[in-house]
């Protein structure tokens, strides 16, 4: 796992969501997470199914934030869990060994170690910078990336206000993937925005 990890915004307009997501995939996004915190069950099902089909066409992994039942129903590639969702161990037991299970670890390296021991496929750290989308304490220290790279044998993802400029030092410190929402989905040219993130990894 390496490169740009795109996370969907809370858009109810499925056509717009698919159009911009496809532009990002064309720009080289490596993985897509469907995250929509305000959608009802019918909209989640519709959007997730359509995004899964899109990711299959581009041969990119598709994971769902939080909703294990939806992941199982669609046979998506995996799930991402946060601190208030089901535990990594519970989700791993439900999905089996072959699915991706990602875990939000915020700025807590011990949480990342625990997630790895419980079967996480990757660990995600942040927020590092203020976000236009998510509200959280901006308290994660960049040195957690270097420590995680040395101590934990799964990829690490950085998230939180990521731009091409401020992601660069985190990639240099050892980040395997950069998760972005606004910097891609709200860009004037999402394909170019994705490409510029991807370029940051080309010399690593």
Q: 21-42 pLDDT, tens per residue?
A: 999 999 999 999 999 999 999 9
pLDDT digits (tens, 9 = 90+) for 155-171: 999 999 999 999 999 99
Please return the burial class of 115, using the count of CB atoms within 10 Å of its CB with bins 0-12, 13-18 and 19+: buried
Three-class secondary structure of residue 160 per DSSP = coil
Give the pLDDT mean for 187-193. Answer: 98
pLDDT digits (tens, 9 = 90+) for 101-115: 999 999 999 999 999
Spatial separation of the C-alpha atoms in residues 204 and 201, rounded to whole Å: 5
Any catalytic annotation for residue 87? no
More confident residue, 142 or 3: 3
- Judged against a pLDDT cut of 90, whether residue 194 lies above it is answered with yes
Q: What is the pLDDT of residue 168?
A: 95
Using only C-alpha atoms, the chain has a radius of gyration, in whole angstroms, of 16
Residues 74 and 92: beta-carbon distance below 8 Å: no
Q: What is the pLDDT of residue 133?
A: 64
Spatial separation of the C-alpha atoms in residues 186 and 26, rounded to whole Å: 16
pTM as predicted: 0.94
Which is catalytic among the residues 2, 44, 87, 134?
134
Query: Which two tokens mark 49?
Result: 């199914």
Which is catalytic among the residues 92, 104, 131, 183?
104
Spatial separation of the C-alpha atoms in residues 21 and 27, rounded to whole Å: 10
Q: Which is it for strands 31-34 and 62-65: parallel, antiparallel or unpaired?
A: parallel
Any catalytic annotation for residue 134? yes
Mean of all residue pLDDT scores within the chain: 94
Q: What is the pLDDT of residue 127?
A: 84
CB burial readout 37-50, b (16+ within 10 A) else e: eebeeeebeebbbb
Fold of 3-199: TIM Barrel (3.20.20)
């Amino acid at each position: 796992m390496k490169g740009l990890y795109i996370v969907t915004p809370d858009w109810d307009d499925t056509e717009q969501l698919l159009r911009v997501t496809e532009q990002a995939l064309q720009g080289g996004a490596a993985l897509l997470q469907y995250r929509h915190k305000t959608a009802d069950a019918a909209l989640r099902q519709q959007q997730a199914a359509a995004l899964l089909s899109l990711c299959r066409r581009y041969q990119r992994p598709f994971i769902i934030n939080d909703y294990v039942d939806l992941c199982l129903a669609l046979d998506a590639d995996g799930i991402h869990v946060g601190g208030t969702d089901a535990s990594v161990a519970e989700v791993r037991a439900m999905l089996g060994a072959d699915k991706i299970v990602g875990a939000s670890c915020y700025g807590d390296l011990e949480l990342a170690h625990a997630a790895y021991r419980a079967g996480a496929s990757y660990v995600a750290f942040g927020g590092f910078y203020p976000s236009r989308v998510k509200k959280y304490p901006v308290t994660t220290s960049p040195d957690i990336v270097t420590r995680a790279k040395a101590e934990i044998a799964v990829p690490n993802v950085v998230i939180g206000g990521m731009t091409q400029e401020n992601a660069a030092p985190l990639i240099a410190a050892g980040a395997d993937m950069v998760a972005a929402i606004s910097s891609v989905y709200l860009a004037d040219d999402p394909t170019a925005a994705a490409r510029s993130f991807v370029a940051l990894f080309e010399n690593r």
